[in-house]
Amino acid sequence: MALIIGVPKETAAGEKRVATVPDVVEKLVKLGFSVAVESGAGDAANFGDDTYRAAGAEVVPTAAELWAKSDIVFKVRAPSPAEVGLMREGGSLISFIWPAQNPELMQQLAGKRATVLAIDSLPRQLSRAQKMDALTSMAGISGYRAVIEAANAFGRFFNGQITAAGKIPPAKVFIAGAGVAGLAAIGTAANLGAIVRANDTRAEVADQVVSLGGEFVKVDYEEEGSGGGGYAKVMSEGFQQAQREMYAKQAKDADIIITTALIPGKPAPKLITAEMVKSMKPGSVIVDMAGEQGGNCELTVPGEAVVRHGVTIIGYTDLVSRLAKQASTLYSTNLLRVTEELCKTKDGVVNVNMEDDAIRGLTVIKEGSITWPPPPPKLPAVAPAKPAAAVAAPKGHGHGASEPMSSKSLATVFGVGALAFLFVGFFAPATFLAHFTVFVLACFIGYMVIWNVTPALHTPLMSVTNAISSIIAIGALVQIAPPLAGASSDRPTTLILGMAVLALALTAVNMFGGFAVTRRMLAMFRK
């Protein structure tokens, strides 16, 4: 018998998201499940009950009835104690749980002999887990929304303008933390025309910041800040002091600061002090995306926007929920991918395979037994580096691919070529000699201009060069065309005519194919 997936209405204050949208309901039904949705569950995200019915879901009037009949419950926020009380014995739950921060909730769920998959515990370092990574999906939305909230509270344009009334300078935005949310904020602010600077303890994200149109501001202190799993680690006191000095400098110059710094299982680090806020220009804005975990700014009030020292400090904890329809769509897709991994047979039966690293990481409670924290996932072994001898051939045993020919060898090759050309000149007819000369020069120029180009430079421009090089089609056309009036009436032989036609066909493919490839490659970089 197919299992029933239940989707209750979220009870957390201000939460507008829903765990499954109608488009995903259809796909869950195709996997063999039945879907039940509490009446009104999707109203805040603009998904009415009728849309769920049309997708094949049953709409249940009350939460108690829904929890009682559901074998698996999909939720956004961790369940409240009252919701845990409604859960059926031995049922399953897929939701955000945050097991490190909610030990009491873990004990309550274990008491229900439940199987719980915490979407926030997904081992993000596994490449195959990316399709299930709801943290990344939600962080991207919150980073975008943080910039929109900042723009709403800021008193000027983001982009610089020159108008008849005077010059308007662009806004200066500083973003603390360049994880998924920070990168989304960088891209959004840069697209709005602001001057964007960003910092992160992980040096490897500097290129990503620059690629999105920002400037990476480095802390003048050498220390690696990657903590694994896409998060940063707690830095040394020396680094933190250097970081505070850099933040103090940026606070005086920036119009908008967006903070995103979080460390799993710990309160949000305090990056922006009251003194830094006081040093900012009146009318400036701080968006503290870590408000739910205490905030990165000392003056943040979680869930509220307050004004301190003339600076608006936004500590909203529902940034993702402010884009409820988009967030619900992405989150429900993540849960669908999890379900596909649990039900590979597509028969509506779930198999929580603890040998699967991704599923093992997600599973924090299995049939009433707490299995969190999981063991480290088995990452693929890194291939050993090739020995230097395999990269470059030893001296005296032939030339490497990039090693230039010695002057002695070059003189020898040209000498042999000159003798061969002289031999051909003595015995070949004059007409052949003219064609042979053009052939030799074409080979030489072709080798020097095209063959010697590094493969890394085969870009769209190289495709155009390839197409233009098809000008050699003129030679084939000359051979095929009838002689002009007064010219020699000698016709090419059948062999020469056949080769000319073949050359014309090949160069036509080269010519049109080169421009077609160029067009497609350039289209990839257009918005």
Tell me the CB-side half-sphere exposure of residue 56, using CA atoms within 13 A: 15
* Cβ atoms of residues 71 and 41 within 8 Å: no
Residue 128 carries which DSSP code? G
Using DSSP's 3-state secondary structure scheme, residue 196 falls into strand
pLDDT at 468: 58
pLDDT at 37: 98
Tell me the C-alpha distance between 257 and 289, whole Å: 11
Burial class (CB in 10 A: 0-12, 13-18, 19+), 56: middle
| Residues in the chain, pLDDT under 70 | 224-234, 265, 379-407, 410, 430-431, 433, 442, 444-472, 481-492, 524-527
pLDDT at 387: 54
Residue type, 127: S
Q: 295 phi and psi, to 5 degrees?
A: 95, 150
Question: What are the strands of the beta sheet with 285-288, ordered from one edge?
Answer: 215-216, 195-199, 172-176, 256-259, 285-288, 311-314, 305-308
pLDDT at 29: 96
The token pair at 2 is: 């197919």
Task: Give the residue among 117, 11, 95, 20 at the shortest CA–CA distance from 328.
Answer: 20
- pLDDT tens-digit map of 33-72: 999 999 999 999 999 999 999 999 999 999 999 999 999 9
Burial class (CB in 10 A: 0-12, 13-18, 19+), 365: buried
The predicted model scores a pTM of 0.72
Q: What's the length of the chain?
A: 527
Question: Which distant-in-sequence residues (6+ apart) come within 8 Å of 227 by Cβ?
Answer: 233, 234, 263, 264
Calculate ∠ Cα 206-358-209, nearest 5°.
10
State the DSSP string of 399-459: --TTPPPPHHHHHHHHHHHHHHHHHHHHHS-HHHHHHHHHHHHHHHHHIIIIITS-GGG-S
Residue type, 62: T
